[in-house]
Amino acid sequence: MKLDPATFVRLRRLAPALDDVLNAGEVEHADQAMGLASLGQLCAQLFDAYHCQHPDDIAQARLDALEPQ
């Protein structure tokens, strides 16, 4: 699924919030928390769009995730 330019820009803008949290191992301030919330919402929207286009792939990925490794 190709991202539209606006979504790509939003992801690039939000990526530093996730990077900061991963590097610190904690959420240090409200701006990071807000960035993570926005990133979560955007990721959920992308998942929903992908799921609509590829429901069988999502179903298989869910089954694969349940199998013991």
Instruction: Characterize 24-36 residue by residue with b for buried, 16 or more Cβ atoms within 10 angstroms of its Cβ, and e for exposed.
Output: eeeeeeeebeebb
d(CA 26, CA 45): 25
Give the global pTM. 0.82
State the pLDDT confidence band at 22, using cuts at 50, 70 and 90: very high
> What is the average pLDDT value for the chain, to the nearest integer?
94
Identify the pLDDT of residue 68: 79
Mind listing the pLDDT tens digit for each residue in 43-69? 999 999 999 999 999 999 999 999 876
Phi, psi of 42 (to 5 degrees): -65, -40
What percentage of the chain carries pLDDT values higher than 70?
Answer: 99
53: Cα within 13 Å, side-chain hemisphere:
8
d(CA 53, CA 29): 37
